[in-house]
Copies of this chain bind each other. A is one copy, B any other.
Amino acid sequence: MTIDTAELPDPDGPEDRPTPAGNPGWLNEDELSFVRGRIPIVYVEAVPVRLNGLGQVSEVGILLRGTPEGEMTRSFVSGRVRYGETLREALFRHLENDLGPMAFPQMPAALVPTQVAEYFPMPGISQFVDPRQHAISLVYVVPVTGTCNPRQDALEVTWMSPEEALSASTQLELPGGRGVLLRQALAAVGC
């Protein structure tokens, strides 16, 4: 699916796809293109963190993805919420997809997210840009306790200190305004 480039919050790559048969929430490219031009699309995003024994953030995980064009770019765990899928199911599915089955995320007890981010196709409407669509993203900070082995080929998790995550150089590597979003999300957990 060529329109899914690295700037997008959701790769929606082949592995992320259900088989179309019988799932009303599966959209072919034309249909996805249609809805993306007509209504806001719901996303969940997650910033994986490691906590020390008292709950303080010791490390922040940032994904490194390869784009179809061969560039590398930083991103969060991220993806679309499907028709008929709960937010928890979508969050868990994308965590597993992006971090692997051994990450053992601590799923949030509350559905209220840490931040809400609005992405628009054109800059200036909000702090966040997604050239593909108008997306409304519920952003969670999710502690993980296991080992992260991204399932998709061009994907790694880089662990860094909160200070490094908040540094100007990391902020600049996050496209679409996600540097600001990372700062806002980490603020809620005392970083």
Contact = CB atoms under 8 A, between A and B. Distances in A.
A83 B187 contact: no
A84 B134 contact: yes
Nearest to A89: B54
A152 interface: no
B24 A88 contact: no
B37 A88 contact: no
Given A109-B143, A187-B188, 12 more contacts: A35-B35, A38-B83, A40-B83, A54-B89, A56-B88, A83-B134, A87-B118, A106-B143, A109-B189, A110-B114, A183-B187, A184-B190
Interface stretch (A8-16, A61-69, A71-79, A120-128): A120-128
Oligomeric state, in copies:
4
Chain A binding surface, main DSSP class: loop
A138 B116 contact: yes
A5 to B, nearest CB: 21
Interface residues of A, number: 57
A146 interface: no
A108 interface: yes
Contact of A116 (B27, B84, B87): B87
A114 B112 contact: yes
A170 interface: no
B42 A38 contact: no
A165 interface: no
A56 to B, nearest CB: 7
Interface string A39-75: 1111000000101011111000000000000000000
A115 to B, nearest CB: 6
Nearest to A140: B55
A116 B118 contact: no
A159 interface: no
A48 to B, nearest CB: 11
